Chains A and B, each alone.
Chain A
Amino acid sequence: MNTQELIQESQRWLDIISARELSPEQLEKISKDTVDNFQFYYNRGYLEYRKSVVEMREDPALEWSGEGSTFQDLSGRTYIDCLGGYGIYSAGIRHPKVVKAVADQLCRMPLSSQELLDPLRGALAELLGEITPGDLQYSFFINNGTDAVEGAIKLARLFTGKTNFISSLRGFHGKSCGSLSLLGKWEYREPFLPLLPGIHFVEFGDADAVEDELYKADQTGKGIAAVIMEPIQGEAGAVVPPDDFWPRIRKACDEYGSLLIADEVQTGLGRTGKLFGVDHWGVVPDIMCLGKAIGGGVMPLSAFISTPKIWGVLETNPFIHSSTFGGNPLACAAGIAAINVTLEEDLAGQAARKGAHLLARLIGLRMRFDRIIRRVGGRGLLLGLEFANTEVGYKIVSGLFRRGVLVAGTLTNSKTVRIEPALNIPDKLIEQVLDAFEDTLREVDASTPDIKADEDE
């Protein structure tokens, strides 16, 4: 394209973005263009694996608009969102309070100069200091969960003077090089080795193993800077640890002078039925990482939060860790609104109540279709299902998709899927999701005489 054509092409998209209505011809062209653009300019890999394309070869589903717990594709099909970008839509899609806060701020000032003090950053930090447990008080803002983990790694090293970390197998902490070092799945790590040295992996939930690694590191070197865990493992399939796990690793970290990092990126702000995942066990971590839902489902926002004592090492030189876009006023406006909505609508309480109901019903389905569903678990509205194998898992998620229910799961990764609807999802939509599940399970059960369980564990 020459310059004139580029201006025309971009203007065409600007018109589409602003259009109130689109003609059938426009819709058809957008659909075709999008597939082409993914193929030639973004990554054709998505076209091979996403069920939104694979299942709808002739008319791939294009995300276009949404509200609350549902969204529409460009062809006008409605989906109940039980995936929510892996937990960003705790308050629902386009929550009016969040949208209004961000829109109002957008009309005033979108980003920050990085020189003048900005009020919203301070306000959000105050609110987070107040709602987080124990003596957690100071926050730093960035844009993605992985940025929060990167910051936590640096802060733990800075404060303890130690280098190494303990993390969990199948734990997920992000895909940038520092956080990827803590991520416990070989698929994402192996091509990028070597990563950070001195990372010790233990089985999630095994407090003995954490104590053991702390002891060994203490006996043989400088020891461990921090133990990092998700309160409930998300990506691994909503795995809840034994009740003594968090209290015991808290105690062990104190004994060995190591910090305890709670990666609450997915569990934070009500998702598991408590405001924070660690609240299930009354444990206060030294550093907490937040992301996803903290942006209110409108803005990218993440944070790491710590205690006055630990924060001291950042105060002598606050520029030792910084971020261009971190804590921008749009994101902070979204964060303030997200906290307001979470508390005002008791999203944690809603998650506890709705999650208990959904979990109970899913267990009921597991008992009826036990050759298809191997495990159901989780807490609040962070629920996970493990299927007998990837193939049958994909049949289920694509069957749900055809019935207008979106859950995670792709052609290569459908053995374990998560269900993470908005925490204020109406009860009747939960019933619709369950009906769709039952219908799909019945169909897959009848059409799949032999189901072989994977022998991978």
Chain B
Amino acid sequence: MAKSIRLKTAVPGPRSRELAVRRDSAVPKGIGHSTPVYAESARGALLTDVDGNVLIDFAGGIGTMNAGHANPEVVRAASAALEKMTHTCFSVAPYEAYVALAEKLNALTPGAFPKKTMLTNSGAEALENAVKIARHATGREAVVVFEHAFHGRTLMTLSMTSKVRPYKFGFGPFAPEVYRLPFPYEYRDHYAGPEGTEAAFDEFFRTQVAPEKVACVVIELVLGEGGFIVAPRPYVDILARRCRENGILLVVDEVQTGFGRTGRMFACEHYGLEPDLMAMAKSLAGGLPLSAITGRADVMDSSQVGGLGGTYAGNPVSCAAALAAVAFIENNRLPQRAAAIGRIVEERFRCFAERFPFVGDARGLGAMRALEIVKDRATKAPDKERTDRVIQKAYEAGLILVGAGTYGNVIRTLMPLVISDAELSEGLDVLEHALATA
């Protein structure tokens, strides 16, 4: 079978290197790049750089590309919307696409209760608004989050984000009334089973914050940036019950897990969970900037008129793209495809774990899979250096990957779910070779 990866130059090639010079002069150092090839175009799961190299993309714009790069239906819908109008601002002159997308998300998300949806621009903005809504609806201030969480880079969401370097260092002081629970990280023995979890919650509410002061708990059911750590079902059950008992709203951050990535439309479905509020972004609009908060109608309606909104929030072109992207994901059964991809990757990752002693853990949910790289299986000491080398080697051989994890020692897969079996297999071969040689 013909290979998909075609490298005409060493990567980054000369034109990418030239653009890097311009980038260094024009763009702040603080923005990093995992793989500095400059993109010229992308289709499906393949990315062509400015030197004409074709690479397989296992990063998918950090999970925005579930429906594939430049999905033709998304492009068509967005182009048609763009021809009609670029923007009016929903707070000034509303339009149907916003309403239609809200209706769609109300129906699509778990929970057989009346729901409402507001639209925003980014994952961080969705989480910001989720906190605002939860505080207003409960009249409480405290927000409970988790170790290893990533919720964004704006001040409130950065306060909620866990990893200090590079995300938080030097950017404080952070917002008050944010409390942090350990995440049930099984590989590193931070999950104490159901009984231990009950005790931990008791201790938390005794020593950290009174439950009646907590507006919401915000959780990623599968940590994204934190390293694709899957929360155990019993833990989530207990968490949901504790929230219910104490009038705390449960906010699920489905920014990275949503829209099919985990093998279901939303990760909540694996847990039979019906959250009070859900934040969505990334693959929602097929690559256009758009995010959403969907939640219980009474909670969503609590805020005064004018209390919520945003100039660009729910832009009509992005709404049209989202309607097309969600339809594409449903019509092409991408959640099922993600589950199938996940089984293929899981099998290969299990082989990697057998072959390479430095693969400490192979885990994930659906197509959201990860390898945790360690120096020693006994001590589980994270090996960020080797992880970086693997990503570098893979990239030099034509596979785009991104790392993850608080210790920077996790390799994660976020390939577009339209990837073919051949492309998937070729990408995994490259990854295996990179593991063997890094």
Residues of chain A having any CB pair with chain B under 8 Å: 356-357, 359-361, 363-364, 366-367, 376
Distance, CA A357 to CA B23, complexed state (A): 10
Distance, CA A363 to CA B22, complexed state (A): 7
Distance, CA A193 to CA B248, complexed state (A): 92
**Is B207 among interface residues, defined by CB-CB distance under 8 A?**
no
A386 to chain B, nearest CB (A): 14
Distance, CA A108 to CA B15, complexed state (A): 57
Question: Do B18 and A363 touch across chains, with their CB atoms under 8 A apart?
Answer: yes
A372 to chain B, nearest CB (A): 16
B14 to chain A, nearest CB (A): 10
Which residues from chain B contact A364 at a C-beta distance below 8 Å?
A: 22
Distance, CA A360 to CA B25, complexed state (A): 6
Which residues from chain B contact A367 at a C-beta distance below 8 Å?
A: 15, 18-19
Which of the residues B18, B19, B25 comes within 8 Å of A356, measured between beta carbons? B25
**Is B1 among interface residues, defined by CB-CB distance under 8 A?**
no
Distance, CA A367 to CA B26, complexed state (A): 16
Which residues from chain B contact A357 at a C-beta distance below 8 Å?
A: 25
Q: How many chain B residues have a CB neighbour from A under 8 Å? A: 9
Name A359's closest neighbour in chain B (CB-CB). Answer: B21
Name A360's closest neighbour in chain B (CB-CB). Answer: B25
Question: Do A361 and B18 touch across chains, with their CB atoms under 8 A apart?
Answer: no
Q: What are 24 A-B pairs at a CB distance below 8 A?
A: A356-B21, A356-B24, A356-B25, A357-B25, A359-B21, A359-B25, A360-B21, A360-B22, A360-B23, A360-B24, A360-B25, A360-B26, A361-B22, A361-B25, A363-B18, A363-B19, A363-B21, A363-B22, A364-B22, A366-B18, A367-B15, A367-B18, A367-B19, A376-B18
Distance, CA A367 to CA B24, complexed state (A): 16
Which residues from chain B contact A366 at a C-beta distance below 8 Å?
A: 18
Chain B positions 1-29 with a Cβ under 8 Å from a chain A Cβ? 15, 18-19, 21-26
Which residues from chain A contact B19 at a C-beta distance below 8 Å?
A: 363, 367
Which residues from chain A contact B18 at a C-beta distance below 8 Å?
A: 363, 366-367, 376
Name A366's closest neighbour in chain B (CB-CB). Answer: B18
Query: Closest 7 CB pairs between A and B?
Result: A360-B25, A360-B22, A363-B18, A357-B25, A356-B25, A363-B22, A360-B21
Distance, CA A376 to CA B19, complexed state (A): 12
Name A355's closest neighbour in chain B (CB-CB). Answer: B25
Distance, CA A366 to CA B15, complexed state (A): 11
A237 to chain B, nearest CB (A): 16
Write out, one digit per residue, whether chain B residues 20-42 have a CB within 8 A of any chain A CB (1) or not (0).
01111110000000000000000
Name B26's closest neighbour in chain A (CB-CB). Answer: A360
B116 to chain A, nearest CB (A): 47
Distance, CA A98 to CA B29, complexed state (A): 37
Distance, CA A393 to CA B19, complexed state (A): 23
B42 to chain A, nearest CB (A): 20
A380 to chain B, nearest CB (A): 13
